Amino acid sequence: MEITWQLLAILAVVALLAGCLDTLAGGGGLITVPALLLAGVPPLQALGTNKLQGTAGTFMATTQVIRRHGVKWSDVKRPMLWAFAGSAVGSVAIQFVSADALTVVIPVVLAVIAAYFLFVPKSHEPPAQPRIGSPAYRRAVVPAIGAYDGAFGPGTGSLFALSGVALRALPLRQSTAVAKTLNFATNIASLLVFAVAGQMMWLVGGVMIVGQLVGAYIGSHILLRVNPMVLRVLIVVVSLTMLVRVLVG
């Protein structure tokens, strides 16, 4: 592919929008990955480069929510380790699987997320009691979502947020904040695997990092003040929009 300054500028703007959106509702990867593919980046390199720029965005969001007391480091450090491990496994596995699997897995995940928040009454409100204990959630659910992120990625933030509300009875705003830290851990693991595998376009990813940092900074400041109902609506809209994009594309 031919890398021009005009192309890099466009991808930086795309990354800015994705970083803000991903911080608020997840799903930024289904903006950046198609953009990279349309720019002529091969599928595995598109996934790897997306992890490079996405890691910067989730790092910014993580530092902001911890610094501004959205979450406590002591509460997320162990889940982050399990998320890291799951993502590493998924990232290694995708190196040996056809990227065509994306067209099957991602629409199913997006449809489930949208359907839950759209049709389950008060889905943005946590149940009275957690449906699963913290150790089981940390050791089973978190690495499973991490493996999905390592292999595919789009919608991971929404999955983490949804599982936190539905299974651990966390308020949606808090669950979304925690999801940023877990998503950062999965991105780091996946980034390392893709880098070792040589599936990375460093210049393109580096330029997109700038956009991601700005977008994530904006999104993280909005996140801790936004009404939970707004988050619910945003997650549904984002999931359905991405679903249409995947099916039509």
Q: pLDDT value at position 242?
A: 67
Specify the higher pLDDT residue, 33 or 141.
Answer: 141
High-pLDDT (> 70) share of the chain, %: 86
Q: pLDDT tens-digit profile of 64-107?
A: 888 876 788 888 999 999 999 999 999 999 888 766 666 677 67
Q: pLDDT value at position 18?
A: 84
Q: pLDDT value at position 225?
A: 73
Out of 1-5, 22-26, 124-128, 144-148, least confident range: 22-26
Out of 93-97, 118-122, 141-145, 236-240, least confident range: 118-122
Q: pLDDT tens-digit profile of 50-66?
A: 999 989 888 888 888 88
Q: pLDDT value at position 249?
A: 62
What is the extent of the structural domain holding 108?
Answer: 5-248
Question: What tokens does 77 get?
Answer: 């450090």
| pLDDT for residue 21 is more than 90 | no
| Angle at 163 (CA atoms; ends 159, 166), nearest 5 degrees | 135
Torsion-angle region of 169 (φ positive above 0: left; ψ -120 to 50: alpha; else: beta): left
Question: What tokens does 246 get?
Answer: 């995947």
| pLDDT for residue 206 is more than 80 | yes
Token pair 């990375």 in the structure block, residue:
200
| Angle at 34 (CA atoms; ends 238, 12), nearest 5 degrees | 90
- Give how many domains the chain has, as a whole number: 1
Q: pLDDT value at position 84?
A: 98
Q: DSSP letter at 127? A: P
Task: Find, among 42, 17, 41, the residue nearest to 30 by Cα.
Answer: 17
Q: Average pLDDT over the chain, rounded to whole? A: 84
